[in-house]
Amino acid sequence: MGERQLDPVIRVKGLYKIYRVGETKVYALNGVDFEVYRGQFIAIVGASGSGKSTLLNMLAGLEKPTKGQIEIGGRHIEKLSEKQLVALRREKVGFIFQSYNLLNTMNALENVALPLAFRGVPKKKRLLIAKKYLKLVGVEEQADHMPNQMSGGQQQRVGIARALVVKPQIIFADEPTGNLDSRTTMEVLRLLQKIVREQNQTLVMVTHDDHLASYADRRIRIMDGKIVGIEEGAKEKPEEERLYEG
């Protein structure tokens, strides 16, 4: 992966988000700088109110910075119009949500195929592609199940397949295992690790949980709107998993 690893897919420089509360200025982000490289799993780690969700929203173009630069795939997204941002998210970005956000009126296969429908991919072709991604995340047998017929872990795997189906440059995950039990959480995090490595995807996950963050290749720690540390190295197979498998 050598050279690709050094290809920054996200560059953040001097990022600030300042809110006014009466006469007071609140710094949700207070001068943030970092780079994310292609093929990396990054965790943005911080307590509630640290600024991590604000940062994720800005990287995804859902909130505008007060000042600073956000470059994604070589484009300065802070300069884009709302219409351009919508197109960027549709074409370049995948989202994995804590609450799965599956449509209850569609089965697993149709949920995964939906982003391709927005791109105008013909039905037969998009269902074939969706099937491939359901297999990749290990829920091909649930293809015709409705969300209410699946466990939380299965629904989250469908959510991951839906994020991947558009071959995004970047996947953003906001507390993606927040509604799952500990064993399913580990399975989902190992799946995310595997996808990042095998598909050379770039994944940015926001979490308050150090154990979840330990699966990432890099951890960016944020506190009071500032980066307070960056750590390298992912946990391969934590002790708890060996116990589960033993």
165 DSSP 8-state letter: T
pTM as predicted: 0.86
24 occurs within a structural domain: no
131-152 mean pLDDT: 93
The pLDDT value given to residue 3: 41
For tokens 């506190």, name the residue: 223
176 occurs within a structural domain: yes
131 occurs within a structural domain: yes
The pLDDT value given to residue 241: 47
| Least confident stretch, 9-13, 117-121, 225-229 | 117-121
94 occurs within a structural domain: yes
Q: Residue 243 — very low, low, confident or very high, per pLDDT cuts 50/70/90?
A: very low
113-134 mean pLDDT: 92
108 occurs within a structural domain: yes
74 occurs within a structural domain: no
Domain with 47 in it: 38-61+82-245
22 occurs within a structural domain: no
Torsion over CA: 191, 196, 200, 201 (sign): positive
What whole-number percentage of the chain has pLDDT above 90?
60
32 occurs within a structural domain: no
The pLDDT value given to residue 4: 45
Q: How far apart are CA 88 and CA 172, in angstroms?
A: 13
SS3 content of the chain, % helix, strand, coil (to 5): 40, 30, 30
- pLDDT tens figures, 39-86: 999 999 999 888 898 999 999 988 999 999 999 988 899 999 999 998
For tokens 């990749």, name the residue: 136
The pLDDT value given to residue 89: 86
| Mean of per-residue pLDDT scores for the chain | 88
Structurally, how many domains does the chain consist of? Answer: 1
229-246 mean pLDDT: 61
116-123 mean pLDDT: 89
What whole-number percentage of the chain has pLDDT above 70?
93
The pLDDT value given to residue 6: 65
CATH number at residue 104: 3.40.50.300
